[in-house]
Amino acid sequence: MTSTELAVSIDPAPPARATPLGILRAIWNELSGGVGPWGALRPAFSILLSFVPFLFLGQHFNRQHRKGAWWFVLQLPLLLTVVLWPLIYAWSIIDSWWVSNGIVSDRPG
């Protein structure tokens, strides 16, 4: 048996003519990471909600209601301390941002 090799070459498509709308779309995709306006603003909005003390709204915004409820219960004895409550408060802000970024990055384009 003889083996035959085939060579296939595909001519690249000529570049499309640039339009102002296409240029603006490309710039917006670069600025927003390709996730659109809400995807770009979601982590920032999550952080803003997290800055409300005692309620853990960032976790509720990210649909992690159980985590927000547990942190609310956990903060009650920690309110008696001066050091531990600010740590859980700061960690909740970081966690809210982290989870929100994960939600945006897992969302299909």
Q: Given this model, what pLDDT does residue 36 score?
A: 66
HSE-up of 12 (CA within 13 Å, CB side)? 3
Q: What is the mean pLDDT of residues 47-60?
A: 89
Look-up of token digits 């085939």: 6
First CA to last CA distance, the chain: 48
- pLDDT for residue 26 is more than 90: no
Distance, CA of 16 to CA of 96 (rounded, Å): 42
Amino acid identity of residue 9, one-letter, is S
From CA 26, how far away is CA 49, in angstroms rounded?
30
